[in-house]
Amino acid sequence: MIEAESCYDFLPITKEELAMSKPHETEQMNTPAPSTRVSRRLFLQSIAGASSVTLLATGVAQPQVQPQTPQAAPPRPHVKETPAEWFISHGLNQEMRWEQMYGRGYLTPTSLFFIRNHDPSPTIDLKTWRLKVEGSGVKRSLELSYDELLRLPSLSVTRYLECAGNGRTFFQEVLDKPAKGTPWRLGAFGIAEWTGVPLKEILQRAGLKRTAVDVMPTGLDARHIERPMPIAKALEDDTLLVYAMNGDTLSPDHGFPARILVPGWIGIASIKWVGKIHVSEQALAVQKNTTDYVMVGPDFLEKPPAKGPALTLQTPKSAIALPWPAMLPAGSHLIRGYAWSPYGKIVTVEYSLDTGKRWHLATLRTPNLARAGVRWDFVWEAQPGTYTLMTRARDERGQIQPKTVPWNELGYAFWAVVRHPVQVTA
């Protein structure tokens, strides 16, 4: 692995560059300045004054306007702010703009972390919240309060989290074949430090049976989203019931009071707002592993009761921390980005400035963590013109981003090389 400072033998090292090498840095974004508002009282007075002037000028009686009953503002779908300069809005879902990660530390600030919800973020009362563990796969039912959960042995891990549909828009842009679902580019991704109780610790306290097959967490959101995982995955050391993110209590948008973290797997497996964990001695079939989050298309066989192979592991990807499309002035630029894989550490990141005719090695930055990813960069002496930047990552198991991938109806697992448009001006 290339050391953090090796790319800067010919460039001065700034404080920003030194900050990039910190492995557990969590950078906070400044809260945007509140917009200037005119008070409702002064606003109504100004309207009344304008009406009086109109009456005096025209001498014509104006119709009386009946006061209207104030309408309640619709509930906010999210608790945190999601300004357009930070996020691409997909309604309930909010995609991080990759250019906001340029020059930041390794971790994605919670304020920038993408939101993938099926319904508005629920409000959960800790006084009444309980975690219930039950099912044929445990010897006894278990119920834990939040305080009891916090007293259990805990673990902190740095891992990425990514929506299964991340990159979906490229089925249209690259393959010219659209897929159903939210048109994510690559911003449904983030790296965080997660703190919680190993799931196996909780299962063992409920008397986990050797005959247990599947473990299924269920959320307390409006639809009670749930998805099972095999017992082997539930028992991995870094599969956690999380209660803290980046050193702070989970926010409502990210699963407060507790969520599951299933490293390397598609995001739907990391159920938020968990209230129940069902342990079964039989394989479980629900909507999220039979109808949704399965591969449906001409290259995939049905696996009844599922419409196709159920998704589990994610795929290796890379992304450039520039706007889409990007506009740059001519000159020397340090181009930065991220790469990640569920299979292990990233070994190389290559970039191309000529639509894949020639590839060059980018510099990898520390840290480079399995199931989390790595930052990379390269210096570009950009001349005026229109360019298509491309990157591809390879992990320690030999997985490398391909030129193309099979299409599937629901637009999952796009991990082919993407083409990032850049215009360089004189």
- 45-54, 121-130, 283-292, 366-375, range with the lowest pLDDT: 45-54
Share of the chain above pLDDT 70, in %: 82
pLDDT confidence of residue 69:
52
With beta carbons less than 8 A apart as the criterion, state whether 162 and 70 touch: no
Query: Would you place residue 144 in the very low, low, confident or very high pLDDT band (cuts 50, 70, 90)?
Result: very high
In 3D space, the residue among 345, 116, 410, 124 whose CA is nearest the CA of residue 252 turns out to be 124
In 3D space, the residue among 210, 232, 226, 201 whose CA is nearest the CA of residue 138 turns out to be 210
Distance CA 391, CA 397 (A): 18
With beta carbons less than 8 A apart as the criterion, state whether 233 and 128 touch: no
Any idea of the CA torsion for 10, 12, 18, 21, to the nearest 10 degrees? Answer: -10
Instruction: Give residue limits of the domains in the chain.
Output: 110-290, 317-425
Q: Which residues is 195 bridged to in the sheet?
A: 156, 244
pLDDT confidence of residue 127:
94
Give this prediction's pTM: 0.83
Residue 246 CB neighbour total at 10 angstroms? 25
Structure tokens at 115: 């939101």
Is the predicted pLDDT of residue 23 greater than 50, yes or no? no
pLDDT confidence of residue 48:
36
Is the predicted pLDDT of residue 256 greater than 80, yes or no? yes
Tell me what the mean pLDDT of segment 90-97 comes to: 97
Distance CA 15, CA 383 (A): 28
Is the predicted pLDDT of residue 73 greater than 70, yes or no? no
pLDDT of 43-64, one tens digit each?
Answer: 233 323 333 322 222 233 333 4
Q: Where does 317-425 sit in CATH, by number? A: 2.60.40.650
Is the predicted pLDDT of residue 240 greater than 70, yes or no? yes
Structure tokens at 327: 């506009």
Architecture of domain 110-290: Alpha-Beta Complex (3.90)
pLDDT confidence of residue 68:
52
Tell me what the mean pLDDT of segment 286-290 comes to: 98
Is the predicted pLDDT of residue 22 greater than 70, yes or no? no
Is the predicted pLDDT of residue 103 greater than 70, yes or no? yes
Query: Would you place residue 76 in the very low, low, confident or very high pLDDT band (cuts 50, 70, 90)?
Result: confident
Distance CA 359, CA 352 (A): 5
Distance CA 71, CA 379 (A): 54
Is the predicted pLDDT of residue 396 greater than 70, yes or no? yes
pLDDT of 1-17, one tens digit each?
Answer: 332 322 222 233 344 43
With beta carbons less than 8 A apart as the criterion, state whether 372 and 340 touch: yes
pLDDT confidence of residue 331:
98
Distance CA 54, CA 42 (A): 19
C-alpha distance from residue 54 to each of 47, 63, 64, 67, 319 (Å): 11, 12, 14, 20, 59
Query: Would you place residue 70 in the very low, low, confident or very high pLDDT band (cuts 50, 70, 90)?
Result: low
